[in-house]
Amino acid sequence: MPSLLSKFLALSLAIGVSLVSASPAASNTSALVTRQANAPPNCFPALGFKMPSSVPSSLNNWWCDYSTEYAFVGVSYEITHCQSLDQLRREFTDVRNRFKGRYIRLYGFCDQPGYYNNVIEAAWSAGVGVHALIWFGFDGTDIYKSRREALFSVLQSNPKAKFVTRVVQFGSEPLFDWAISARGLAQEVRDAKSRLANLKIPVTVSEMAYGYQARENDGSKEVLQAVDFIDAHMLPFFSHKASTAKASWPIVMEDLNWFFNNGLGKKIYLSQPNSPNAVANIQNEQVGVQLVGGHRDDRLADPIFQDYYDLLDSHCVDFKNMKGGGVGWFAHIYSDNQEPGYGIYGYNGQLKIRFQPKTSC
């Protein structure tokens, strides 16, 4: 898979020039509402929920209410290596048991025929829901169409699919990548919603605020109208205002306010809130490959990586009270073996940071 670094370097330059003028996020519109959001253990995928011994006959009362899904909800997981069913089960279960994750958000692609069946089985076994993904990639081809058809085929044929698939995403960042016209993407969303209506699986797009802002003249607001909820990428380290992880909350809120003001009140997940240190130009904000004697040493903690996730975790109450039923966030990504430098786990399989984020407050 192409590195995200070159793609995001271009993004940082673009945002530095145009983010303020493109976004109404600087408004003082309140992002907070008062609500109660306590997930009972008798809905999926609440913590404490016990998977049934057989596939239910109906989705009635199956999914937890969106208002219970705020703060930390799960982990992004790249499937480009086409991990075995055993590995998927083991690592999905690790997300559930070790981090109290309720969801796996897929990233990347595996084009093995029927591969999503393995994802379904692993998710069922682990007791986690899935944000499935139709991957556009970075090369401008229409291969996403065959991936769409492969996924929809499994969703329609596997009886467990609708019980673990919370949403189907188009991604990643197809607007920013100019992988498709904005109106074409909106039509893809509408078509997918129609085709999946019998399964009651929502459809969304995994995209950042800047992707929508940059494509407004191309019809990006139609995409926001079409999606069932918003899977937002939150990349504060590309802002021209970026300084340190600990100081990045105003930048997070700038993009969130844009979605609150333009997202028609829909539920929001931060589906890819990358650590703000991956390409920072500040010396003490460098991430990823830490070298000792010229060799990688994953035993070294990444304090700035730690700072960013601690920042998100410290705003649990804010996330709970935000518009649209609260805001949930994913950690991106499970392992450095999937995206170098971004993983919670290093190449050696050891945790790089202390990671026990709040799932409720």
Question: Is residue 350 one of the residues assigned to a domain?
Answer: no
Question: Is residue 35 one of the residues assigned to a domain?
Answer: no
Share of the chain above pLDDT 70, in %: 77
- Residue with tokens 């899977």, as numbered in its chain: 231
Please give the tally of structural domains in the chain: 1
What distance in Å separates the CA atoms of residue 111 and residue 62, rounded to the nearest whole number? 30
Question: Is residue 22 one of the residues assigned to a domain?
Answer: no
Per the structure, the complete domain to which residue 125 belongs is given by 69-282+296-345
Check: CB of residue 283 under 8 Å from CB of residue 220.
Answer: no
The predicted structure's pLDDT at residue 306:
85
Residues 273-318 have pLDDT tens digits of: 765 444 344 433 444 333 333 334 443 445 667 888 999 999 999 9
The distance of Cα 329 from the centroid of its chain, to the nearest Å, equals 7
What's the pLDDT band for 34 if we cut at 50, 70, 90? very low
- Residue with tokens 């016209």, as numbered in its chain: 181
Q: Say how many CA atoms lie within 13 Å of 87 toward its Cβ.
A: 9
Local structure of residue 183 (DSSP, 8 states) = H
Question: Is residue 193 one of the residues assigned to a domain?
Answer: yes
Share of the chain above pLDDT 90, in %: 64
The predicted structure's pLDDT at residue 137:
75
Local structure of residue 335 (DSSP, 8 states) = B
Question: Is residue 92 one of the residues assigned to a domain?
Answer: yes
pLDDT(7) > 80: no
Residues 53-100 have pLDDT tens digits of: 999 999 999 999 999 999 999 999 999 999 999 999 999 999 999 999
pLDDT(269) > 80: yes
pLDDT average, residue stretch 345-350: 92
Q: What is the DSSP string of 137-160?
A: -SS--STHHHHHHHHHHHHHH-TT
The model's pTM: 0.84
Burial class (CB in 10 A: 0-12, 13-18, 19+), 48: exposed
Q: What is the CATH number of the domain that holds 192?
A: 3.20.20.80
Looking only at the bridges linking them, the beta strands covering 295-296 and 291-292 are: antiparallel
pLDDT(31) > 90: no
pLDDT average, residue stretch 105-120: 97
Question: Is residue 351 one of the residues assigned to a domain?
Answer: no
